[in-house]
Amino acid sequence: MTVFSDIWCSFAHVAVHRLHHTRERLGLTDRLRIDHRAFPLELFNDGPSPRRGTDSEVGGIARIAPEAGWQMWRSADWKFPSTSLFALEAVQLAKDQGPASSEALDLALRQAFWAHSRPIGARSEVLAVARETGGVDVGAIAEGLDDGRARRLVTHDYECARRHDVHCSPHIFLSDGSDWANPGVEATWHGAYGTGFPEVTKDDPGAWETILHTAAELAEQPASPTQK
């Protein structure tokens, strides 16, 4: 299953937490893997997410999944991330080490930002999180960040999202083309982003069971014969 998202998106933090939790509860972790694709909000919005915006999201979104881990930004103001590109790139690079590694690093980076106020906009902090994440080759991540190939992967995902009806972070796609934008959650904003606040108007955590059961059924279907 494919998940388009940004790491500093609060709705994606909820979605990825629920995806991992529901997949484990259903016993599907080894059968269904997550292909994380980048939905870089700073490229869509021509600028970074302001701290006031993410802080307001903690107040409005965290209540629907408090167990995901949250806090208002508690580190120094100057450490607040001005970009999420290094973090998104690192997750793409971790795919070379297997899906479990990329899943683990993605989840760890989300926790680092939302639950621990760590400055994941810095290359050094992204590598520190990778070092703390089991099963991740930090040297390979550093090499990929430095030689530039990871940036091409993220900008490719950005262009793919723009051209192929990826509506938001998060947006989930399955192999049969079925998709869910921000699964089970609907919200409205009161005021502009950065000055207003979000209000969740619908929340259905059970949506993830539907998604995962559908994905499991698709995984059991025999592959189509190769066309000659």
Delimit the domains of the chain by residue range.
2-220
Using only C-alpha atoms, the chain has a radius of gyration, in whole angstroms, of: 17
pLDDT for residue 224 is more than 60 = no
φ and ψ of 27, to 5 deg? 70, 35
- The reported pLDDT for the residue numbered 228 is 35
pLDDT tens figures, 123-146: 999 999 999 998 899 999 999 999
> Which residue's structure tokens are 């100057």?
78
How many Cα atoms are found within 13 Å in the side-chain-facing hemisphere of 43? Answer: 20
The CATH topology of domain 2-220 is: Glutaredoxin (3.40.30)
pLDDT for residue 110 is more than 50 = yes
Sequence-distant (6+) residues with CB within 8 A of 89 are 144, 145, 150, 151, 153, 154
- The count of other CB atoms within 10 Å of the CB of residue 223 is 5
Rounded to two decimals, the pTM is 0.93
pLDDT for residue 227 is more than 70 = no
pLDDT tens figures, 11-49: 999 999 999 999 999 999 999 999 999 999 999 999 888
Amino acid at 219: A
How many Cα atoms are found within 13 Å in the side-chain-facing hemisphere of 149? Answer: 10
SS3 56: helix
Q: What is the mean pLDDT of the chain?
A: 93
